[in-house]
Amino acid sequence: MKSLQEIQQICETMHPELELRHEGSSEAKSKYEKHVLICGGTGCTSSGSMAIADALEKELVANGLEEKVQVVKTGCFGLCALGPIMIVYPEGTFYSRIKAKHVPQIVKEHLVEGNPVKELLYDETVTDEGIKSLNETSFYKKQHRVALRNCGVINPENIDEYIARDGYKALAKVVNEMKPEDVIQTILDSGLRGRGGGGFPTGMKWKLARTIVPDADQKYVCCNADEGDPGAFMDRSVLEGDPHVVLEAMSIAGYAIGATQGYIYVRAEYPIAVERLKIAIAQAREYGTLGKNIFGSDFSFDIDLRLGAGAFVCGEETALMTSIEGNRGEPRPRPPFPAEKGLYRKPTILNNVETYANVPQIILNGAEWFSSMGTEKSKGTKVFALGGKIKNTGLVEVPMGTTLREVIEEIGGGIPNGKKFKAAQTGGPSGGCISPENYDVPIDYDNLIAIGSMMGSGGLIVMDEDNCMVDIAKFFLEFTVDESCGKCTPCRIGTKRMYEMLDKITKGQAELADLDKLEELCYYIKANSLCGLGQTAPNPVLSTLKNFRNEYEAHVVAKKCPAGVCKDLLQFTVNAEKCVGCGLCAKNCPVHAISQGDYIAPGKKRAAFVIDASKCIKCGVCMSNCRPNAITRG
């Protein structure tokens, strides 16, 4: 147990240490000359960052630098595409895609001799004027980090580093200086809305949970960390990079609504996040920021972890609670809402990780500070996981109201290989595909809904001209069919039928009337399903039907897949004018569908080859082997 004074003491001592990781800070004062930060998030760990950290520590000892250079394993920096990532402070030099074998060179040249290894730096930071720091790159420049403020900055396994960054200050303020009603009012005033997808005002949720059942003997605070949208990893990054912020915010929520117990429901597929949460909870209990009489007040609060077991539907609030109770994760009808009858039928609030990550900052900086960011109805910032056909795959946090163009072109570095932007998918299986004409719409909750998608938890998948929109819709429906809990009829059977209709379309077996039937079924499932999963499952279909109807029609009428994705509709043909008759295609064809014809194009020596469409299995091997690019697909 630590007293408030002791915690304040830790903050004062550690703060200058941490300031070293803030280039140009005048407050920096560390016992180390340099801090080397290595990403320990899932992305970089998967590509070997922990081996780099080990190598670095060994190399530092070998060079007698262990007292001068501190190695810090942080959470995600965001630029996953460039992982493994290493940053050297105080200068903020940014190494990307390094390997353990590069470590000796970096230690020798940079840490010993003071000359950064230019060829290993992120190319954008190497300029004629010198080396730019991380924060000057286009990826970071436009970002505004609130929820992610500690990610990639602190060691998530060290509570002192969290405290150094004003950690647990908000909780201390709340329990010592604020009434629960004031806390709720602050959150209400801030305009914070749920970051998990729905966008329900967080303060409103808290207020209901505080007041709706006045004589409740038990209430619960839950954290939804069952991030299951394919391609989304915002919550994972916060949990891996800054687990204490979630614990602190949940405690604040507990104080606000009058709960003493919290649960974090986290995906078991996130082992690093689970491990760091376990460490954080143990440390918080040790320091007394969780447990009885927090900071000497009457307020007691504890948190337990619950692991998901691979069911996307458990991200739905009632399903999540059903699952914590030890059941099949099937949603329950609402009303009653969880604020009235939630976990074990007691008043419960459930917020997602990113929502919580904003809370301590709102308490410390005030509602006005928060509401000054963002748009009229969507305040603050939003974290997006950029994925798909984009250069800078990774995690970004931008003020609400930033346009898609800014996120994709400026921060995301645009689309690789000179391809054209075709669509951006937000909201995962619940969201929709945004077409190029909405490239400049400011992103916020209401605008996204207006253009047929939704915020969702923040997955943002970019697609280019090579992606078939019918295929994408089918992909999401396949996901929904797999993840439907099977409780209600519209979702259980309806999504399956939708998937089958889409499958028919991609095989060229559908007629125009089927598109109307599909659309009708979509609207039916939206209006009749039991929970959010079913109610939003048709969105990927509806948004693509609306924005890319011509592509559907091409599949149905012309029996063509314009993007060349749907195998059944593909045809490989040899352009006889270009074919040089080398026969490489025929040699590589696994089913012997290619043979030499009679026609010799003008200027060519040998007869062109011909593909027998009835034998072709559309594997594309011929095309990838054709040197004069004479084979086309369409």
Separation of alpha carbons 483 and 499, rounded Å: 13
CB of 343 to another protein, least distance (A): 8
Strand pairing of 93-95 and 86-89?
A: antiparallel
CB of 76 to another protein, least distance (A): 9
CB of 340 to another protein, least distance (A): 11
Tally of helices (H runs) and strands (E runs) in the chain: 26, 19
CB of 602 to another protein, least distance (A): 36
Residue 484 binds another protein, judged by CB under 8 A: yes
Question: Which one of 10-18, 80-88, 399-407, 604-612 is the stretch in contact with another protein (CB under 8 A)?
Answer: 80-88
Separation of alpha carbons 319 and 321, rounded Å: 5
Please count the residues of this chain forming the interface with another protein, following the rule CB under 8 A. Answer: 77
User: 36, 47, 72, 287: which one contacts another protein (CB under 8 A)?
Assistant: 47
Residue 552 binds another protein, judged by CB under 8 A: no
Place of tokens 């909750």: 445
Separation of alpha carbons 258 and 76, rounded Å: 33
Residue 463 binds another protein, judged by CB under 8 A: yes
Q: Which is nearer to another protein, 387 or 399 (CB)?
A: 387
The footprint of another protein on residues 559-598 (CB under 8 A) is none
Hey, what are 610's tokens?
Answer: 């011909």
CA 133, distance to chain mean position in Å, is: 25
Residue 527 binds another protein, judged by CB under 8 A: yes
Residue 87 binds another protein, judged by CB under 8 A: no
Separation of alpha carbons 392 and 81, rounded Å: 6
The footprint of another protein on residues 433-462 (CB under 8 A) is 459, 461
Hey, what are 328's tokens?
Answer: 């099949």
Site string for another protein, 25-44 (x = CB under 8 A): -----------------xx-
CA 145, 167, 210: angle at the middle one, nearest 5?
90
CB of 320 to another protein, least distance (A): 11
Hey, what are 187's tokens?
Answer: 């959150």
Helix or strand run (H / E) with residue 408: none
Q: Which is nearer to another protein, 78 or 167 (CB)?
A: 78
The footprint of another protein on residues 273-332 (CB under 8 A) is 306-312, 323-330, 332
Place of tokens 């689309």: 415
Residue 482 binds another protein, judged by CB under 8 A: yes
Q: Which is nearer to another protein, 494 or 581 (CB)?
A: 494
Site string for another protein, 187-226 (x = CB under 8 A): ----------------------------------------
The footprint of another protein on residues 371-410 (CB under 8 A) is 385, 387-389, 393-394
The helix/strand/coil state of 209 is helix
CB of 402 to another protein, least distance (A): 20
Q: How many CB atoms lie within 10 A of CB 214?
A: 8
CB of 294 to another protein, least distance (A): 23
- DSSP assignment of 577-597: TT-----HHHHH-TT--EEE-
- Of 540, 504, 538, the closest CA to residue 522 belongs to 538
Q: Which is nearer to another protein, 230 or 508 (CB)?
A: 230
Separation of alpha carbons 324 and 329, rounded Å: 8
User: 218, 297, 372, 528: which one contacts another protein (CB under 8 A)?
Assistant: 528
User: 40, 194, 228, 452: which one contacts another protein (CB under 8 A)?
Assistant: 228
The amino acid that residue 568 corresponds to is D
Question: Helix/strand/coil (H, E, C) string of 470-519?
Answer: HHHHHHHHHHHHHHCCCCCHHHHHHHHHHHHHHHHHHCCCCCHHHHHHHH
Q: How many residues does the chain have?
A: 634
Q: At what angle are helices 353-365 and 243-257 packed, to 10 degrees?
A: 70
User: 16, 198, 201, 231: which one contacts another protein (CB under 8 A)?
Assistant: 231
The footprint of another protein on residues 143-182 (CB under 8 A) is none
Cα four-point dihedral sign 439, 520, 491, 559: negative
Contact 12, 20 (CB under 8 A): no
CA 78, distance to chain mean position in Å, is: 10
CB of 12 to another protein, least distance (A): 36
User: 75, 194, 262, 490: which one contacts another protein (CB under 8 A)?
Assistant: 490
Q: Which is nearer to another protein, 82 or 146 (CB)?
A: 82
Q: Which residues pair with 399 in a beta bridge?
A: 381
User: 493, 580, 584, 623: which one contacts another protein (CB under 8 A)?
Assistant: 493
User: 164, 209, 521, 566: which one contacts another protein (CB under 8 A)?
Assistant: 521
Residue 230 binds another protein, judged by CB under 8 A: yes
Q: Which is nearer to another protein, 389 or 555 (CB)?
A: 389
Cα four-point dihedral sign 444, 448, 454, 458: negative
